[in-house]
């Protein structure tokens, strides 16, 4: 069967199965199980209303449980076990973690990830705040925002190609086609550099790609927050003779502190999961390994599910503080 037809069929089957399930299960509940007539009509309606939410929720809970909740525990279990050739698992305690901690590549990945975690959210938020503030008061601000926001739509892989062209290197006697080398030579650099192979610095060249993508996101959120600031506070500051910088840093930024924090944590989450950029641009060579790519290497190249799962658990641990914070905020909002 042609995959496109299969796709259409799946949509049709999936959609009609979902709609059918919801419609039929509701009918069944109201007409067969607890009909709203006869001697027990009142009790039946109440009972039906007790069950109905779960009919609505069931497909979602099933999918969430199977595709997100169960894997978390299963990965945790796998990280403490080892595959026996021919099938089955053997409990090995913390061996996988010990092996991982001894791995030079893992240490490299952790160090680099920490660097990513500091640089990318900080730079994206800073650039986003700058762009939000600057575009807010000019006439073509919306167009400017739209263009800065655009990289959000570009895949990490596409962005990697875009930036690889910028970092491209040609031999010294040829015209440089990568703009970074062209600028470097024009500014008096001795010979073209292969940017992605210079240890430590190459990490920053990879981070720039993500900063480029995430700045638009930060800008959109922060710009909305800036607009939400009560005009009165700003007018009062102007009357008191504050200059534009004071207004920005002393009046506006403190008022949108919470939004900045949300933006920061959201980008942090993206950073922790960043895989495509490193995979496509350096594949972790030249000291650019990160956790997500390290995990992929272990799972699918080395075929070591134990260490791979252990590194996935490390990513989960790094995410957990944000998870807890988010859940607490959500609960506070609901009250």
Site for another protein in 99-138 (CB under 8 A): 127, 130-131, 134-135, 137-138
Of residues 187-246, which lie at the interface with another protein (CB under 8 A)? 212, 215-217, 220-221, 224, 244
**Residue selected from 20, 28, 56, 201 as contacting another protein according to rule CB under 8 A:** 56
Report, in Å, the least distance between residue 311 CB and another protein: 8
Give Dmax (Cα) for the chain: 95
Interface segment toward another protein; rule CB under 8 A; list 90-98, 99-107, 198-206, 263-271: 263-271
Of residues 308-327, which lie at the interface with another protein (CB under 8 A)? 308-309, 312-313, 315-316, 319, 322-323, 326-327
Report, in Å, the least distance between residue 180 CB and another protein: 11
For residue 200 the two structure tokens come to 């430590």
Report, in Å, the least distance between residue 244 CB and another protein: 6
Distance CA 259, CA 252 (A): 12
Distance CA 94, CA 108 (A): 21
Q: Residue 300, interface with another protein (CB under 8 A)?
A: yes
Q: Residue 68, interface with another protein (CB under 8 A)?
A: yes
CA-based nearest residue to 54, from 69, 33, 70, 75: 33
Report, in Å, the least distance between residue 53 CB and another protein: 4
Of residues 30-49, which lie at the interface with another protein (CB under 8 A)? 30, 49
DSSP string for residues in 45-109:
HHHHHHHHHHHHHHHHHHHHIIIIIHHHHHHHHHHTEEEPTTS-EEE-TTHHHHHHHH-HHHHHH
**Residue selected from 47, 119, 164, 237 as contacting another protein according to rule CB under 8 A:** 164
Q: Residue 11, interface with another protein (CB under 8 A)?
A: yes
Q: Residue 147, interface with another protein (CB under 8 A)?
A: yes
Report, in Å, the least distance between residue 24 CB and another protein: 10
CA-based nearest residue to 69, from 330, 331, 335, 323: 323
| Angle at 249 (CA atoms; ends 244, 250), nearest 5 degrees | 95
Dihedral over Cα of 280, 282, 284, 289: its sign: negative
Q: In the complex with another protein, which residue's Cβ is closer, 44 or 176?
A: 176
Q: Residue 249, interface with another protein (CB under 8 A)?
A: no
CA-based nearest residue to 166, from 183, 182, 154, 178: 178
């Amino acid at each position: 069967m042609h995959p496109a037809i299969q796709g259409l069929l799946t949509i049709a089957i999936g959609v009609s199965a979902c709609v059918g399930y919801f419609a039929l299960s509701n009918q069944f509940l109201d007409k067969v199980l607890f009909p709203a007539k006869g001697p027990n009509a009142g009790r039946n309606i109440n009972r039906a209303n007790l069950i109905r939410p779960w009919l609505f929720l069931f497909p979602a809970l099933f999918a969430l449980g199977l595709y997100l909740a169960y894997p978390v525990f299963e990965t945790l279990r796998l990280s403490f076990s080892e595959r026996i050739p021919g099938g089955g698992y053997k409990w090995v305690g913390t061996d996988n973690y010990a092996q991982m901690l001894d791995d030079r590549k893992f240490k490299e990945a952790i160090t680099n990830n920490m660097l990513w975690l500091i640089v990318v959210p900080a730079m994206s938020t800073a650039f986003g705040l700058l762009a939000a503030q600057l575009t807010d008061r000019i006439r073509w601000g919306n167009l400017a925002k739209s263009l800065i926001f655009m990289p959000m739509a570009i895949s990490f892989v596409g962005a990697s190609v875009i930036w690889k062209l910028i970092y491209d290197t040609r031999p010294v006697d040829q015209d440089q086609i990568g703009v970074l080398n062209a600028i470097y030579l024009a500014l008096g650099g001795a010979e073209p550099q292969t940017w992605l192979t210079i240890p430590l610095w190459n990490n920053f060249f990879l981070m720039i790609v993500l900063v480029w993508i995430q700045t638009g996101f930060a800008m959109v959120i922060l710009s909305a927050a800036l607009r939400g600031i009560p005009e009165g506070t700003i007018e009062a500051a102007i009357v008191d003779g504050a200059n534009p910088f004071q207004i920005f840093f002393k009046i506006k930024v403190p008022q949108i502190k919470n939004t900045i924090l949300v933006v920061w944590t959201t980008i942090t989450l993206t950073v922790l999961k960043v895989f495509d950029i490193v995979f496509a641009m350096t594949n972790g060579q030249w000291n650019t390994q990160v956790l997500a790519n390290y995990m992929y290497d272990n799972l699918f190249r080395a075929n070591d599910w134990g260490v791979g799962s252990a590194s996935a658990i490390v990513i989960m641990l790094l995410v957990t503080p944000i998870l807890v914070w988010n859940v607490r905020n959500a609960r506070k909002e609901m009250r």
